[in-house]
Amino acid sequence: MSNGKTRYVQVGLGSRSGMYTKAITQTYPDHAELVGLCDRNRGRMELVSGKLEAPVPMYGPDAFDRMLAETRPDVVVVTSMDVTHSDYILRAMELGCDVITEKPMTTDDARCRSILQTAAATGRSVRVTFNYRYSPPREQMKEMLAAGTIGEVLSVDFAWMLDTRHGADYFRRWHGERANSGSLLVHKATHHFDLVNWWLGDRPEEVFCHGSRKYYTPQHADAMGLSDRSERCLDCPAKDRCRFHLDLAGNAGLKSLYLDHEHEDGYFRDRCVFGDRIDIWDTMSVSVRYRRGALLNYMLHAYSPVEGYRIAFNGTKGRIEHVCCENTYISGDGTIPGELQRGNTTITLIPEFAQPQAIEVRTGKGGHGGGDPKLLDDLFLPTPGADPLGQRASQADGAYSILIGVAAAKSIDAGSAVHIPQLLQGVPLME
């Protein structure tokens, strides 16, 4: 620390990183100090640095070690492409830094084991930013389940819908390739699996999954009369007929962050959602058995007409149903992600042998249903206070959330169930 402030560097400066930059430099400047930026795109770094009150040193990925040596940070904030998370997490811990990382912690079981082993060897910490844990309705669900309102939970039915604005956005970005993201079972569903793990206070044991890609396909595009489409939206001859067209040039935020700097790294933010390069699934059905015996049935749809989720917990004393509708958005377009639609989020308690009871739902302001501001307080205030609901997610929480998705993808490939303890191979979790 310098002058009583915690020193931070950031690596990866895409759309999600701005939340942390703003928090460090504007919301918590009395406690936090940004001392370095790292990204493969020099133009994007200059854009971010130029908005700061005082510019900070900038480094390319090859100079990551030098950045840590020269800026002497206490904490490294990792918001780079998913598959690269582990590279920076591992090196940061080896060089004496703690880590805050966006979800998912990493993308496969081998990288996950390396992070856990390095954390155990170095004694450094990894905080995974599961902001959904902090939103008021999800806190309510945790409190009700922890209080035994419906007794022991025996089964969970969970369906998450990504609509054709938000869901499609994963297929036009780098997320559409498993090598980068581990698929939506890892990149997106890590949020959802973590919620269930946290709500149940339990650990997953066995996973089976079916997956398909039938919507975001070249065949579907042809059927919609888009056979003349091109690789990206910017110069696509079918853009006036395509409902999935993304106008990078016409959106100030996306233009300044991506289009203006794509010549630096060759990353096209507006690639065709029906492209041949895509190898992730758009429909996934997952079955999970937990350590204490609860069963989870989970569905993820990436092409729904609505955005949000439905979940029901079935217990020995009744049932809790929770429905949440969210605003639809494209990452980086200025819309607040996960903002709850007022009046369309409900919690219903159905006690055994009794009538259903509508529970008044708590609300909050800010991204991810009010979760982002509370998460940031917990990350950047020097004395964040007690954690009675266990919302602070460690590397163990990060591991279990991604390992369900990793196991699910392996299950699709193999056509058989996958046991999570086998993926851990005895590596300590430091729970």
Token representation of residue 180: 């980068």
pLDDT surpassing 80 at residue 380: yes
User: Distance between CA atoms of 139 and 410, rounded to whole angstroms?
Assistant: 32
- The per-residue pLDDT for range 316-346, each reduced to its tens digit, is 999 999 999 988 878 877 777 766 666 689 9
- The per-residue pLDDT for range 231-242, each reduced to its tens digit, is 999 999 999 999
User: pLDDT-derived band of residue 51, with 50, 70 and 90 as boundaries?
Assistant: very high
β partners of residue 340: 326
% of residues, the chain, pLDDT over 70: 97
- The per-residue pLDDT for range 256-314, each reduced to its tens digit, is 999 999 999 999 999 999 999 999 999 999 999 999 999 999 999 999 999 999 999 99
- The per-residue pLDDT for range 114-152, each reduced to its tens digit, is 999 999 999 999 999 999 999 999 999 999 999 999 999
User: Distance between CA atoms of 350 and 224, rounded to whole angstroms?
Assistant: 44
Q: Which pLDDT value is given to residue 34?
A: 98
Q: Which pLDDT value is given to residue 228?
A: 97
pLDDT surpassing 90 at residue 244: yes
Q: Which pLDDT value is given to residue 329?
A: 76
**Straight-line distance from the first to the last Cα atom of the chain, in angstroms, rounded to the nearest whole number:** 27
The identity of residue 98, as a single letter, is D
- The per-residue pLDDT for range 337-375, each reduced to its tens digit, is 766 666 689 999 999 999 999 999 998 888 877 889 999
Q: In which residue are the tokens 């080896």 written?
A: 94
Radius of gyration over alpha carbons of the chain, in Å?
21
User: pLDDT-derived band of residue 38, with 50, 70 and 90 as boundaries?
Assistant: very high
CB-based burial of residue 60 (10 Å sphere; 0-12 exposed, 13-18 middle, 19+ buried)?
A: middle
The identity of residue 354, as a single letter, is A
Q: Which pLDDT value is given to residue 16?
A: 86
- The per-residue pLDDT for range 400-426, each reduced to its tens digit, is 999 999 999 999 999 999 999 999 999
User: pLDDT-derived band of residue 3, with 50, 70 and 90 as boundaries?
Assistant: confident
